[in-house]
Structure 1
Amino acid sequence: MSEIADTAGAGTTVHEAYAFACMRCGHGWEQSFEIHHHVDGNGHTFVTYTADGERVPSPLSRPTCLNCGGHVVRIMKAGQVSSIREMLRAAVVDAPMGGPVVGIPGPAMEDAPGPVRVKHNWHLSDLLHPFHRK
C-alpha cells in the first residue's frame, strides 16, 4: 500500500487534535494529527495519518499510552486534558497556618513560614469525573 500512497493523486489534508487518557495509569496527553485523504489507482479512498511530520497509525484504531504502554485509552476532543490539568492546579489549596493550640503542651510555631500548601491525592476517577454524562 505504500507504493499506492506514493503514487496517489493529491488529496485533501485535514488537521485534527485529540486528547487521550490512559485508564490503566491515568496519564493524559494531547496530540495533533494531519489526516491525508488519498484515492488509489482503483478509485478507492484511504487515509494516512502524520504526527510531528512522521507517518503514524490511526490514533483511533488502537491507541497506546505513552507512559505505560497500555491500550485501554479513552479518546476525547482536544482541550480536555489541558482543562483537567488546570482544574487540578487550581485544586491545590492555600491553607492558612493556624497558631499554637491552647491546652496542648508543645513548642509554639512562631518561626513557621506563611501559608501551607495542602495537596489533594487524585485518582483516575477524579480526573474523568468532569467527562461523566448526566
Structure 2
Amino acid sequence: MTEIAGRAGHRADGVVRESYSFACMRCGYGWEQSYEIEHHKDTDGHEAVRYVADGRVVPSPLSRPTCLNCDGHVVRIMRPGRVTSARSAAHRKHREHHGHREHHGHHWRLSDLLPSFRRAD
C-alpha cells in the first residue's frame, strides 16, 4: 500500500479516523492530532492511502513526524490522550505546589511530560 498526495475531496473507498499523541524529544513540545485516513484504489487496482488533517492532505504522521514547535524529527508517537493526560497531571501538580493560583501561558517541556509516561513497577 502506498501513500498518495493530492487534494482531499476525491471519493475514497473507505475512511478510518485515527488520533495520535506526539512528544518532541528535542524541545519537549507535546501535541495531539486526528487524521482521516482515506483508502483509495488506483486505476490498476493497487491500494493507496491519503492522510487528511483539518481538511488538508498531509504526509503520513508515522513516516517522519515533524515537531510543530521546532521542526525537529525526533518525535515520539503515542496512543491518543497521552499528552492531554500528562498536561492535566502536570497542571494539578503545579496547582497543588503553588496553591490554586492560575498560571497562563505555560510552555510545556519534555520534563513536564515524562513523569506521566513512566511505568509503575
- Quick one: distance in 1 between partners of 2:97 and 2:79? 32
The percent identity for this pair of structures is 55
Aligned length: 110
5+ long unaligned stretches in structure 2:
none
**Which residue of the partner structure matches residue 65 of structure 2?**
63
Q: Secondary structure at the match of 1:20?
A: strand
CA-based RMSD of the aligned residues comes to 2.9
Q: Is residue 129 of structure 1 aligned with residue 119 of structure 2?
A: no
In structure 2, the CA distance between the partners of 1:32 and 1:43, relative to structure 1 (3 Å rule), is: same
Alpha-carbon distance in structure 2 between the residues aligned to 1:60 and 1:27 = 17
Check conservation: 1:23, 1:73, Cα contact below 8 A.
Answer: yes
Unmatched tracts of structure 1, length 5 or more? 96-114
- Determine the C-alpha separation between the residues in 2 that align with 1:32 and 1:40: 25
Ranges of 4+ aligned residues in structure 1 off by more than 3 Å: none
> Shift of residue 127 of structure 1?
1.6
Larger radius of gyration: 1
Q: In the TM superposition, what are the counterparts of 1:1-134 in structure 2 within 5 Å?
A: 10-92=12-94, 93-94=96-97, 124-133=110-119
TM-score by length of 2: 0.77
Relative contact order, CA 8 A, sep 6+: which one is greater?
A: 2
Deviation of residue 126 (structure 1)? 5.0
TM-score, normalised via structure 1 length: 0.70
Q: Cα offset for 1:123?
A: 5.8
